[in-house]
Amino acid sequence: MSSSNPIQQTTRTDQTSPALIPADLLVSLAAGPILLGVCSMQAVSSSLESLGIASEEVFRGDRLPILPFPESTPEELEDSKT
C-alpha cells in the first residue's frame, strides 16, 4: 500500500554542498592558537606559583624581628586578676 503513494516514493539524494573551507584546513588553522593558549596558560600558572611563593616569604617568621616578651610568673597572673 505504501508503494502506491507518490509522496513516499520520492527518493532522497544525499548530495551535500561542498564546504567553502575544507575541514582539514580548519583543523590545521585552529591547532596553532590552541597550542599557544596551552603554552601561555602553563607560563601564567608557573608565574602565579612563583609569585605565591615569594609572597609567602613575606609572612614567614624567619624574617621578622624577635620581640622581647616579658616572662610572667603564676603569682603575677593572680595579682593581675584581683
Task: State the average pLDDT over residues 42-64.
Answer: 86
Q: Is the pLDDT of residue 55 over 90?
A: no
Among all chains, which residue has been given the C-alpha cell 567553502? Answer: 20
Q: How confident is the model at residue 34 (pLDDT cuts 50, 70, 90)?
A: very high
Reported as a single tens digit per residue, the pLDDT across 8-32 is 555 555 566 667 888 899 999 999 9
- pTM (2 decimals)? 0.46
Is the four-CA dihedral 63, 68, 73, 79 of positive or negative sign?
Answer: negative
On the question of pLDDT at 73 being above 70, the answer is yes
